[in-house]
Structure 1
Amino acid sequence: MSTEIVEHAREYDAFESDEDAEETVLAVLETFAERLSEGEAEDLAELLPEKYAEELRMPAPRHPQEYSLAEFLDRVERRADLDYDEREEKAAAAATAIADAVHGEELDRAREQLPEEYDRLFAAEA
Structure 2
Amino acid sequence: MNYDTFIDQVARRAHVASAQAVDLTRGALATLAERLTGGEALDLAAQLPQPLQSVVRPLPAAEAADRFDAAEFVRRVAARAGVDDQQARDGVRAVFTTVREAVTGGEFDDLMAQLPRDYREMVEPALAPGATRRHG
Q: TM-score, normalised by structure 1?
A: 0.89
Match of 2:92 in 1: 91
Q: Deviations over 1:23-67 (max 9, x none)?
A: 100111100110001000000111011110111112111110011
Match of 2:37 in 1: 37
- Structure 1 window deviating more from structure 2 (54-63 vs 2-11): it is 2-11
Q: Deviations over 1:65-105 (max 9, x none)?
A: 01100000000000001123322112211221122111430
Match of 1:28 in 2: 28
**How far apart are 1:119 and its partner, in Å?**
2.1
- What CA distance in whole angstroms lies between the structure 2 residues aligned with 1:28 and 1:70? 13
CA RMSD of aligned residues (A): 1.7
Sort the Cα spacing of 1:10 and 1:124 in 2 relative to 1 into closer, same or farther, 3 A. Answer: farther
- What CA distance in whole angstroms lies between the structure 1 residues aligned with 2:86 and 2:48? 29
- What CA distance in whole angstroms lies between the structure 2 residues aligned with 1:5 and 1:48? 9
Match of 2:56 in 1: 56
- What CA distance in whole angstroms lies between the structure 2 residues aligned with 1:109 and 1:119? 14
Show structure 1 runs of 5+ residues with no match: none
**Secondary structure in 2 matching 1:58:** coil
Which structure exhibits the higher relative contact order, with contacts defined as CA atoms closer than 8 Å and separated by 6 or more residues? 1
Residues 93 and 123 of structure 2 are in contact (CA less than 8 Å); yes or no, is this contact kept in structure 1?
yes
Task: Read off the aligned partner of 2:31 and give its amino acid letter.
Answer: T
- What CA distance in whole angstroms lies between the structure 2 residues aligned with 1:83 and 1:13? 13
Q: How many residues align?
A: 124
- Structure 1 window deviating more from structure 2 (62-71 vs 113-122): it is 113-122
Match of 2:108 in 1: 107
